A and B are shown apart, each in its own frame.
Chain A
Amino acid sequence: MIKVARYQLVTPVMFLGLPWAALAAVFAVNAAQGGGGNFRGGLAVMFLLFFVTGVQRIGRWLPFGLALGATRRSFYAGTALLGVSMSLASGLVIAGLQAIERATGGWGLSITFFRVPYLLDGPWYATWLTSFVGLSALFVYGMWYGIVNRRWGTLGLLAFIAVQVLVALAVTFACSRAGVGPLRLRPAGAYPATLSALELTGVIAALAVVCLAGGHATIRRVTV
């Protein structure tokens, strides 16, 4: 597992630096456009890149990893561990940048970049926890996509997406019928009515565990 992590970090800039470089670019664009106090969703690029990195770490890195004698199990565990560790560190940095943004009145430009309404708008530890869980979840979700693609190709990937859409519709329908409505939006604030940010973090953590288990089950019979 450690060998796999070292292999994944043989080009550390690609793994660790790319999401932050992209985020810095988006931040610069936001700053150039001026703040105005409105959140424009720029931080989402970080989460998106964690998903993409998860996909990539399977598609391009698994074949050579197995050629170097790694087992599927150790490759998966090592890569996931690295992704989760990176999420933990990145979450802490996001919490720190959020604190600075808050203290400086939006970097002196009234920019709302690291404060995401409802989701990342609480104390620093809540921001750390939520962003850590969110980044980890997207990383392992991306890994699962990469594994499905490697194992069953494009058709398998389409089927995988279709199943997820069906599951999401079924859950929404069931919640609606039961009157729970976790996804129901408040007209005024447009925020979920029944879940706090930390509760939603718990739901995302549970989904991350499902993705982790699903990816593990899928990679066991992957061939290269």
Chain B
Amino acid sequence: MTPAISVTGLTRRYPGQVALDDVHLTIGTGTITGLLGRNGAGKTTLLRILAGQEFPSSGSVRVFGSPPAENENVLRRLVLVREDQVYPDFKVSHALRAASFCYPNWDTGLASSLLEDFGLRANKAIKSLSRGQRSALGITIGLAARAEVTLFDEPYTGLDAVARQVFYDRLLAEYADFPRTVVLSTHLIDEAAALFENVVVIDRGRVVLDAAADGLRGMVTTVSGPVLAVDSFTKGRPVWERRGLGSQASVVIVGQISGEDRERARSLGLDLTPLSLQQLVVHTSGGQVGAGSLTGRTSA
């Protein structure tokens, strides 16, 4: 089966900067993928290239098996919601009407109901919207388009916690009713972690982690306790980070923890704390540690 998105050797250079550096990535149809990384890591550039809004310097990009750039057959099946979207000088209702012309699966009822959920008035001029309201408009377009590939780039900047929860709930409900391929770039990692089936972490233009979310859960653990006990427990295991404070130590190890391991840790007086997705991203980004042992899609 042709993957929804397939990227091979993708590089994007700007003067004095490499935004994407030899990126390889495959995203299957009907999945929700979290695209994570620091500011300037290359997430937005990748999404813009996938949506045909930017051009690669080299490499190959395929959406449903075809290059997206200037390809109407691909682009009408894809929507990109950007936090920095520039709108013409018109009203919310105009933006929704324009979107309804362009997407064959557009659902007007859903758009109206989302506007209601977000408390957004259709007759309001877009230039007078707050940042959060503009985000709500983007989310409304992204979900109501019911495009087969839906790309969200930091879609909820400025949205309050209640509105973000509305987004998560509606995204999951929509995904269940009308399965599609969703890529969600976000900095609110732990908040959105439960949505992700796959996780891709980009750092300085390179993919440093590409794994199934289920496979990551419990894959990296912090072991803390007396130095000698920690050393004994972690001996022979891949270590990402080691910190010591007097007679206490805290070590981040990679690998599943078995029931037997837990028993042993308890007997040694050690605490085992699985790393959250956000902590994992912090560790894999910024060159703190290599994520070699996690790279490559990990099976659930």
**Is B233 close to A, CB under 8 A?**
no
Asked if B86 contacts A10 (CB within 8 A), the reply is no
B108 shortest CB reach to chain A, Å: 15
In the complex, the answer to whether A72 meets B80 with C-beta atoms within 8 Å is: no
| Selected contact of B88 from candidates A3, A60, A221, A224, CB within 8 Å | A60
Q: How many A-B pairs fall under 8 Å by CB?
A: 72
- Asked whether A3 lies within 8 Å of B102 as measured between CB atoms, the reply is yes
A residues within 8 A CB of B87? 60, 63-64
Distance (whole angstroms) from the CB of A135 to the closest CB of chain B:
21
Q: Is B98 touching A68 in the complex (CB atoms < 8 A)?
A: yes
13 contacts between A and B (CB under 8 A): A3-B101, A10-B94, A60-B87, A60-B88, A61-B88, A64-B85, A64-B86, A66-B51, A67-B85, A68-B102, A69-B75, A69-B78, A69-B147
For the complex of A and B, the 8 pairs showing the least CB-CB separation, nearest first, are A69-B75, A63-B86, A68-B102, A60-B88, A71-B70, A7-B98, A10-B94, A69-B76
**Other A-B pairs beyond A60-B86, A60-B89, A223-B48, 16, CB < 8 Å:** A3-B101, A6-B98, A6-B101, A11-B90, A60-B87, A60-B88, A63-B85, A63-B86, A67-B82, A68-B99, A69-B76, A69-B78, A69-B79, A69-B103, A223-B54, A224-B48
Q: Residues of A with Cβ closer than 8 Å to B?
A: 3, 6-7, 10-11, 14, 60-61, 63-64, 66-74, 220-221, 223-224
Residue of A nearest to B85 (CB): A67
User: Is A71 in contact with B98, judged by CB distance below 8 angstroms?
Assistant: no
Which of B51, B70, B76, B98 is packed against the most chain A CB atoms within 10 Å?
B98
Q: Produce 1/0 per residue, B135-147, CB < 8 A to A.
A: 0000000000001
Closest B-chain residue to A7, C-beta based? B98
Q: Contact check, B86 vs A71: say whether CB atoms are below 8 A apart.
A: no
Residue B71 interfacial (CB < 8 Å): yes
CA distance A28 to B175 in the complex (A): 58
Are the C-beta atoms of A223 and B53 separated by less than 8 Å?
yes
A-contacting residues of B (Cβ < 8 Å)? 48, 51-55, 70-72, 75-76, 78-80, 82, 85-90, 94-95, 97-99, 101-103, 147
B71-A71 in contact (CB<8A): yes
Point out the residues of chain B lying under 8 angstroms from A74, CB to CB.
Answer: 72
Q: Which of B53, B55, B82, B88 counts the most chain A CB atoms within 10 A?
A: B88
Measured CB to CB, the nearest residue on chain B to A64 is: B87
Enumerate chain A residues within 8 angstroms of B98, measured Cβ to Cβ.
6-7, 10, 64, 68
Complex Cα gap A19–B82 (Å):
33
Residues in chain A near residue B97, CB distance under 8 A: 10
A7, A67, A220, A221: the one contacting B80 at CB < 8 Å is A67
Nearest Cβ on chain A to B107's Cβ, whole angstroms: 15
Closest to A71 in B: B70
Contact A73 B70 (CB under 8 A): yes
Q: Return the chain B residue nearest A5 by Cβ.
A: B101
**B50, chain A: closest CB distance, angstroms:** 12
**Which B residues lie within 8 Å of A71 (CB)?**
52, 70-72, 75
Asked whether B72 lies within 8 Å of A66 as measured between CB atoms, the reply is no
* Inter-chain contact A70/B95, CB cutoff 8 Å: no
In the complex, the chain B residue whose C-beta lies closest to that of A224 is B53
Considering the chains assembled together, what is the distance between the CA atoms of A137 and B60 in angstroms? 39
CA distance A68 to B76 in the complex (A): 8
Minimum CB distance partner of B93 in chain A: A10
Asked if B102 and A70 make an inter-chain contact with CB atoms under 8 angstroms apart, the answer reads yes
Question: Which residues of the other chain, A, contact B95 by a CB distance below 8 angstroms?
Answer: 64
Taking CB atoms, residues of chain B closer than 8 Å to A66 are 51-53
